């Protein structure tokens, strides 16, 4: 598999950075040939994942970072979010079956609906979480 790096960027894990992340992800998706509808969905999913890192992994602490990597393989766009927060629990990627009118639990379901696969990459000996999301190329 030949992979092309589309984006590699580290930024502060704070809400003020989300606008820049959305802009960068949108530009990367355009470069990979996604249609506008898919671009909007991917941007929303990445924004939700970053928001979850800020809110739950770093617990709104302003001293963390998020590294975003976007790679294009022959058939897929691969989005990786790296953070150095405490290890995420394995079950945090399970969508909660909750009342859709109550807050919480819908973000993971949205991410799983938009992406073709969502998983944590094992990082033995490295104190980081790596969330990998894949979407088939158009």
Domain boundaries, the chain: 4-136
Average pLDDT, the chain: 91
- Say if residue 83's pLDDT is above 80: yes
Can you tell me which residue has the tokens 């919480």?
Answer: 104
In this prediction, residue 98 carries a pLDDT of 62
* 96, pLDDT greater than 70: no
- In this structure, whether the domain defined by 4-136 belongs to CATH 3.30.565.10 is answered with yes
What is the Cα 107 distance to its own chain's centre? 11
User: What value does the mean pLDDT take over residues 22-45?
Assistant: 98
**For residues 65-76, average pLDDT:** 97
What is the CB-side half-sphere exposure of residue 102 using CA atoms within 13 A? 6
Nearest Cα to Cα of residue 107 among 55, 48, 58, 54: 48
72-104 CB burial, b ≥16 within 10 A, e <16: beeebbbbbbbbbbeebeeeeeeeeeeeeeeee
The whole-model pTM stands at 0.91
């Amino acid at each position: 598999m030949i992979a092309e790096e589309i984006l590699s960027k580290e930024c502060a894990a704070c809400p003020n950075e989300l606008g820049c992340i959305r802009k960068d992800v949108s530009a990367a998706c355009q470069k990979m040939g996604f249609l506008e509808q898919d671009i909007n969905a991917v941007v929303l999913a990445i924004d939700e994942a970053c928001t979850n890192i800020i809110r739950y992994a770093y617990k709104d602490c302003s001293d963390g970072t998020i590294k975003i990597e976007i790679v294009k393989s022959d058939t897929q766009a691969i989005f990786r979010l790296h953070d150095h927060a405490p290890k995420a629990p394995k079950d945090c990627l399970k969508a909660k079956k909750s009342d859709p009118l109550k807050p919480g639990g819908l973000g993971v379901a949205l991410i799983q609906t938009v992406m073709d696969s969502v998983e944590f990459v094992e990082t033995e000996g490295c104190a980081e979480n790596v969330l990998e999301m894949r979407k088939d190329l158009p």
